Amino acid sequence: MIKKPSPAYALSLCLLGCGLVASAAHAADSDWKRGRIYYRQVCTACHTAELKKPIAPNDRTQAEWAAYLKADKHGKGKDTVKHYFSSHYRDSIKAENAAAAKYANLPEKDLIEDVRAFLHKSAKDGDSPAGCS
Amino acid sequence: MRTGIFMAAIMASMLLAPAAHAASDPATEKLLKSTSDHTKFKALQQKFNSGPEVTQACLSCHTEASKQIHKTQHWKWEYTSPEGQLLGKKSVINNFCTSVASNEAACNICHIGYGWKDDKFDFKSEINVDCLVCHDTTGNYRKPAGLAGNVVTKPMEFPPGSGSMIKPIDLKRIAQAVGKTSRDNCGACHFFGGGGDGVKHGDMDSSLASPDKALDVHMDALGLNFSCATCHLTQGHQVPGSRYAPTAQDKGDAHLRGKEYTSNPTTCQACHGQAPHKKIAKLNDHTDKVACQTCHVPTYARGSVATKMSWDWSTAGRMGPDGKPLTRKDAKGRVIYTAAKGDFVLGENVVPDYLWFNGRVKYTLRTDKVEKSDQPIRINHFEGSAGDGKSLIWPVKIMRGKQAYDPVNKTLAVLHMAGNDDTAFWTNFNWERAVAVGMASVGAPFSGKVDFVATESTWPITHMVAPAKDALRCNDCHGKDGRMNWKALGYAGDPQSGKK
């Protein structure tokens, strides 16, 4: 016999569902254009200046970008990806970098989500693959 | 039961916490600029299987939109000039991919409609209007080449039998996220004119989708962030500022809000007026002779995207040692030859050519007789002179090339380039067959012979406005090594030195 869930448990499942939907809606609210600006004017600019080798969004698949952001290892683990979204980092470059200055007060997680949204759509297998420019 | 209540409380707090946070922190709240949330419209809460289905839903609220679009150049691809020439993409021949006729299925991905594949297209159909190409905000809307401007909503192998799959788009999601036009919308076509990124205009390419201030002071994504429509101020879907109807000299004042104007809102003067230089008023002495763009767009193709400066069709069709169509790249990895198109010369950070321009442009049309000579055929010609009182010195891109013509009938050739058939040039590399089909498509006579003639076309340079600090200085034009060819402009020498 299958036990009927209590009303409170059913409510909790409902709310959990709502929570997931809300979370998805939040992801959909990410500003991919702001992510594009940060990626190009901070990430690409630095890679071009320091390494002479920018990484285009369409150099990686969606899964590869997702894995990269989840692993949070930058420079083969020398530091974290998050560091480059932190307010500390933005403060350190904002005198020379207009994007870092413009977004100096933006919450780090918002900026990461924006860049994540841009990379997701612009990846090799994304809806709109994008190169460096 | 108590466990259930506890879980409900936890879940409720998870759900409500972010909302409470957002409400308590105005800095993170987004101001909804539109009065409409399109996700809430019933008409858009459905699965769409085609573009026209979306348009039908749009029209259920925006009842007049398609009727407005039907009156635009974006829809008709036709424009009759003040001189009586029938222009527009539908008619003109250029020296890039040359012409739309007989290539509709490929070219018309940039038509603001669905399904224009031949001369049977219904220009009166309201649902054939493509709302999303201009109003998509997701950046994911695509119209694949070869499908006559239609969209793909299910995985599709194209061309059939190629094994190449087109990824479908989610029309419902895109339709629910529509908004005002952005640089990305306009750029989806205008950045890629001539068959690729930056190819045609020189001052418009994908670098303007998200430019910095150095590339364009107005479109600077971190600054003024102008959309195209900020200057190309649109009313009733009529977009002003077409190159077919240029304004070479605007003697009007800066436009005021609330006041009605009939003049072109896209000119510099429409915002900056007649005396824009406040700190160095002497510079205002130039504005009766020199277009603003001449000093303020010192070079074009500045965004690391090369533009084509020359295109030689006469060398197209070469096969490599493997018998396959040949491709060559330069040291930077940029394509400079393909069997499909011939040889290219690319340019970045290019100093413009300069000429007097009075706003009148004369075109060589496909019915005009042309003679092969040492001088290139002018596909279009910017008219003007130093003394006509209507002209200013303008910066332009001169596109040079060689293209097919009929040496017997002495007309420029209409070329059937693209198509999954055995007459298209890109399929069989046979000029005579491709031109025969192209000329037949417009009812033009064809002798059966094909030769090549040198051509040049002129394109106004008006975007990529640099910051004031990067504008031309006196010596850039008047100095010993100044960039102006004064003799070509009708002067005996540098007018500053007294030679007029």
Report the chain A residue with the minimal C-alpha distance to residue B1.
A6
The residue to which tokens 């297209």 are assigned:
B121
Per-residue pLDDT at A28? 54
- For helices A7-28 and A108-122, angle between their N-to-C axes, nearest 10 degrees: 70
The greatest distance separating any two alpha carbons of chain B, rounded to the nearest whole angstrom, comes to 99
Q: How far apart are CA B191 and CA B205, in angstroms?
A: 4
Nearest CA in chain B to A30: B138
Query: Considering only CA atoms, which of B438, B435, B459, B437 is closest in space to residue B449?
Result: B435
What is the rounded CA–CA span in Å between residue B354 and residue B487?
11
Contact predicate B150/B48, CB 8 Å? no
Q: What does the DSSP 8-state code read for residue B120?
A: T
Amino acid symbol at B165:
M
Alpha-helical (H) ranges within A1-130 are: 7-28, 32-38, 45-46, 62-71, 87-93, 98-102, 108-122
- Chain B residues lying within 8 Å of A12, measured CB to CB: 4, 7-8, 10-11
- Token reading at B106: 């490929």
Residue holding tokens 């009733």?
Answer: B236
- The beta-carbon neighbor of A121 closest among B5, B18, B140 is B140
Instruction: Centre a 10 Å sphere on the Cβ of residue B321 and count the other Cβ atoms it contains.
Output: 6
Token pair for B84: 């009586």
CB-based contact B464:B302 (threshold 8 Å): yes
Residue B382 C-beta-side C-alpha neighbours within 13 Å: 29
Please say whether the dihedral angle defined by the alpha carbons of residues B334, B305, B201 and B436, taken in this order, is positive or negative: positive
Q: Each residue's pLDDT tens digit in chain B (500 positions)?
A: 444 444 444 444 433 333 334 344 544 456 677 889 999 999 999 999 999 999 999 999 999 999 999 999 999 999 999 989 999 999 999 999 999 999 999 999 999 999 999 989 999 999 999 999 999 999 999 999 999 999 999 999 998 888 999 999 999 999 999 999 999 999 999 999 999 999 999 999 999 999 999 999 999 999 999 999 999 999 999 999 999 989 999 999 999 988 988 899 999 999 999 999 988 888 998 999 999 999 999 999 999 999 999 999 999 999 999 999 999 999 999 999 999 999 999 999 999 999 999 999 999 999 999 999 999 999 999 999 998 999 999 999 999 999 999 999 999 999 999 988 899 999 999 999 999 999 999 999 999 999 999 999 999 999 999 999 999 999 999 988 899 999 999 999 998 887 66
Say which DSSP state B80 is in.
E
Chain A positions contacting chain B at CB under 8 Å are 5-9, 11-12, 15-16, 18-19, 22, 26, 29, 32-33, 36-37, 40-41, 98-99, 102, 105, 107, 110, 121, 125, 127-128, 132-133
Q: Do B12 and A15 touch (CB under 8 A)?
A: yes
Predicted complex ipTM: 0.80
CB contact under 8 A, A133 and B303: yes
Three-class SS state of B160: coil
Q: For residue B455, which of B386, B381, B389 has the smallest C-alpha distance? A: B381
Q: What are phi and psi of B166, to 5 degrees?
A: -100, 130
Chain-centroid distance of CA B465 in Å reads 17
Question: How many beta carbons lie within 10 A of that of residue B447, not counting itself?
Answer: 15
Q: Which residues of B touch A9 (CB under 8 A)?
A: 3-4, 7-8
CA B458 to chain centre: 15
Closest CA to B366 of B242, B460, B459, B455: B455
**A75 CA: distance to closest CA in chain B (Å):** 26
CB nearest A98 (choices: B182, B212, B305): B212
Rounded to whole angstroms, the Cα distance separating B50 from B129 reads: 12
pLDDT, tens digit, 9 for 90 and up, residues B46-67: 999 999 999 999 999 999 999 9
Of B184, B205, B222, the CB nearest to A98: B222
A8, B139: Cβ pair inside 8 Å?
A: no
- Cα–Cα distance between B16 and B267 in angstroms, integer? 51
User: How many CA atoms lie less than 13 Å away from B254 in the CB half-sphere?
Assistant: 8
The DSSP 8-state label assigned to residue A42 in this structure reads: I
- The tokens for B16 are 């409500």
Q: What is the pTM of this model?
A: 0.88
Q: How far is A45 from chain B (nearest CA, A)?
A: 12
Could you tell me which chain B residue has the CA closest to the CA of A124? B167
CB–CB of B155/B165 below 8 Å?
yes
Residue type, B146: G
Q: Which residues of B touch A (CB under 8 A)?
A: 1, 3-5, 7-8, 10-12, 14-15, 18, 27-28, 30, 138-140, 142, 167, 169, 182, 184, 197, 205-207, 209-210, 212-213, 221-223, 303-305
Output Rg (C-alpha) for chain A, integer angstroms.
Answer: 19
d(C-alpha B410, C-alpha B407), whole Å = 5
Alpha helices in B25-60 (DSSP H): 51-59
